[in-house]
Structure 1
Amino acid sequence: MATVQDVAAYILAKAGPMTATKLQKLCYFAYGYHLAWEERQLFPERFEAWANGPVAPALHAKHRGRFELQRGDIEGDATALDDDERESVDVVLESLGVFSAHELSTMTHREGPWVHARERAGAQHLERSTEELLDLEISDFFNALIDREG
């Protein structure tokens, strides 16, 4: 199984450069769609319901303090993804890669796992939270998106 750093390195190799926020959101969407399509995690690292949307702290630790990232900035093995993992990421890049970091963040704030995690934590607007997003909620949310898109 790939790690979040492997997926981030793959995204940067295919679609970089981009902001750190956009990279986080693309990793989240890739994780969610992969979980729905393949019924398995894309990587084992978790997302938390931070004030500005879902964030994988393990990835954030690798780019903290950086605004823009490019190929090679995240240490990861882009070749570690299996065929299904690559396909999931590629579909997300093709469909969502055109959106800005702000647009992707807005998409994560409307409904779903991030909102539910913020509610569980009792986190107010712009308040910090380390509440984890639950795979069951992520899977249900992305399955519903797929049904609406299909």
Structure 2
Amino acid sequence: MANVFDVAEYILQRLGDMSAMKLQKLVYYSQAWHLTWHEHPLFSEQIEAWANGPVVKELYTAHRGNFRVTPGQFAGSRTGELQPHEAESIDKVLAFYGDKDPQWLSNLTHMEEPWRLARHDVPDGERSSNPITLESMIEYYSSL
């Protein structure tokens, strides 16, 4: 199984430099759609429902303080070891979401059930580390 850094680096190699916020959203959608299409997670790290949308804390810690992220930023990632079906899932996500603006992606996640369920008891704009569950992702995205 890939880890979040493998997925993030793969995305950066495909699309180039981008904002850290956009990377987080593309990682989220890669997990959500891979889970829906293949019925198992793409990576094991948990996704949290932060105020600006879904965030993988470990990835955030690695790019903290950087508005933009670049290919090669996540040393030790193993993009070459992604399974063909994993790379295919990410490629499909990038084909649909890759040209979208970071704020557009964030706004979209705010309208979708997995993020909203995870934040049901959190006031707008407040910090939260509530998890977005795999179950809520597969239930929501498989219904689309």
Range into which the TM-score falls when normalised by the shorter chain: over 0.9
Write out per-residue CA displacement over residues 24-80 of structure 1, whole angstroms, 9 at most, x where no aligned residue: 000000100000000000000010010000100011011001001111112212112
Determine the structure 2 residue equivalent to 1:135. 134
| CA distance, structure 1, for counterparts of residue 4 and residue 118 of structure 2 | 20
| CA distance, structure 2, for counterparts of residue 92 and residue 105 of structure 1 | 15
| CA distance, structure 1, for counterparts of residue 130 and residue 6 of structure 2 | 24
Determine the structure 2 residue equivalent to 1:30. 30
Determine the structure 1 residue equivalent to 2:59. 59
| Amino acid in the other structure paired with 1:10 | Y
Give, in angstroms, the shift of residue 93 of structure 1. Answer: 0.5
| Amino acid in the other structure paired with 2:139 | D
Structure 2 residues without counterparts, runs of 5 or longer: none
Determine the structure 1 residue equivalent to 2:113. 112
1:73 aligns with 2:104: no
| Amino acid in the other structure paired with 1:30 | S
| CA distance, structure 2, for counterparts of residue 95 and residue 134 of structure 1 | 23
Give, in angstroms, the shift of residue 11 of structure 1. Answer: 0.4
| CA distance, structure 1, for counterparts of residue 93 and residue 45 of structure 2 | 19
Root-mean-square deviation (Å): 0.7
> What SS class does the counterpart of residue 46 from structure 2 fall into?
coil
TM-score calculated relative to the size of structure 2 = 0.97
> What SS class does the counterpart of residue 99 from structure 2 fall into?
coil
| CA distance, structure 1, for counterparts of residue 69 and residue 133 of structure 2 | 28
1:47 aligns with 2:47: yes
Ranges of 4+ aligned residues in structure 1 off by more than 4 Å: none
| CA distance, structure 1, for counterparts of residue 80 and residue 113 of structure 2 | 31
Give, in angstroms, the shift of residue 141 of structure 1. Answer: 1.1
Q: How many residue pairs are counted as aligned between the two chains? A: 143
